Homo-oligomer: A and B are copies of this chain.
Amino acid sequence: MALTVVGSIAFDAVKTPFGERERMLGGAAVHFSLAASFFTEVRPVGPVGDDFGAEQFEVLEKRGIVTEDVERVAGGQSFFWRGRYEYDLNVAHTEETRLGVFAEFEPKLSAASQNADTLFLANIQPDLQRQVRAQCGAAKLSGLDSMNLWIETARDSLTAAIAEVDVLVVNDAEIRMLTEESNLARAARAVMAMGPRAVIAKQGEYGAALFTESGFFALPGLPLEDVRDPTGAGDSFAGGFFGYLDSCDDSFEEAELRRAMGYGTVLASFNVEEFGTERVSRLTREEIDSRFEELRAMTQFEGPAAS
């Protein structure tokens, strides 16, 4: 069991109505890895600059994350993102993106990362996603995230990348945009016609929905009273989802996919309670399982007594 993830390893500057941080550890591969680390061995792949130091590596390594494929580029600067959120935390406003060492990134994975059972291609340029996918022929389960930017500027590459994975994990608006189909159920079916066996529509505070050939499953977001920073929620969701599935014997059994949706929802819920990686980096498996049971009680017809 091992899980390889490629994506941004970054510093974020974030401002929300509930506080701000000028420079904190972030990036899709970081949020994903921390969330997945509760379930399996995780191997993030991506470049960082000289500014990425022992303090940042320690956050990952304390959670048992294998950092040998985090490539330090001498003289380079790490990916940097600055964004802000208004009271409607569902919408991020990007104020600045500096690619830094990502501009020249050519993924070369170690043998161990290439041989991982599970692969997640976080949101980066789709040609880079395809390069990584090509190196990971052993993956029994693969997933991909993307964003409106690539739908608009690299549609053909993105379509080719999507065709090569098992699960597409994007926002519901992006599924509609990608397929040019306003009805979400039809749009998900159109994605499956492109290749994937499953489609996850992330829906912000409304939760997430899973479409497969045989059915549909949906979970609401947990009704949190304190949400401080939604940055990384989608990546934490994916980390919980794929991390759990990598730990299963049969990752495409329907009940396992549903439990994976539950773990994704739980990890995302912890992620948003504090800024950046603050909450997830000190989380425990006991807290995760306890909240999973709360989620079960909140979504099952039989009610709390059945949990």
Contacts and interface: CB of A to CB of B under 8 A. Distances in A.
A299 B184 CA distance: 17
A301 B209 contact: no
B223 A209 contact: yes
A189 B225 CA distance: 10
Nearest to A217: B298
B184 A205 contact: yes
B255 A183 contact: no
Interface string A246-268: 00000000110011001000000
23 contacts: A17-B182, A183-B225, A185-B223, A203-B206, A206-B207, A207-B220, A209-B223, A214-B304, A215-B297, A215-B304, A216-B298, A217-B303, A219-B220, A254-B304, A255-B302, A255-B303, A258-B301, A258-B302, A259-B301, A262-B301, A296-B301, A299-B301, A300-B300
A304 B214 CA distance: 10
Contacts of A88: 182
A207 B104 CA distance: 44
Interface string A279-300: 0000000000000000011111
B298 A218 contact: yes
A-side binding surface: helix, strand, loop or mixed?
Answer: mixed
Interface in A69-123: 87-88
A224 interface: yes
Given A203-B206, A209-B223, A220-B220, 19 more contacts: A87-B182, A183-B227, A184-B205, A184-B223, A185-B225, A206-B206, A211-B223, A215-B297, A215-B304, A217-B299, A217-B303, A218-B298, A255-B302, A255-B305, A258-B303, A259-B301, A299-B299, A299-B300, A300-B301
Contact of A225 (B17, B186, B215, B297): B186
Contacts of A224: 183, 185
B303 A254 contact: yes
Contacts of A304: 214-215, 254
The 10 lowest CB-CB distance pairs between A and B, nearest first, are A218-B220, A185-B223, A206-B206, A87-B182, A254-B303, A185-B225, A216-B223, A255-B303, A216-B298, A258-B301
A87 B216 CA distance: 23
A218 B299 contact: yes
A147 B205 CA distance: 22
Contacts of A17: 182
Contacts of A262: 301
Contacts of A296: 301
Interface centre among A183, A203, A223 (most CB of B within 10 A): A223
A305 B215 CA distance: 12
Contact of A220 (B188, B209, B259): B209
A215 B223 CA distance: 10
Interface centre among A186, A219, A226, A299 (most CB of B within 10 A): A299
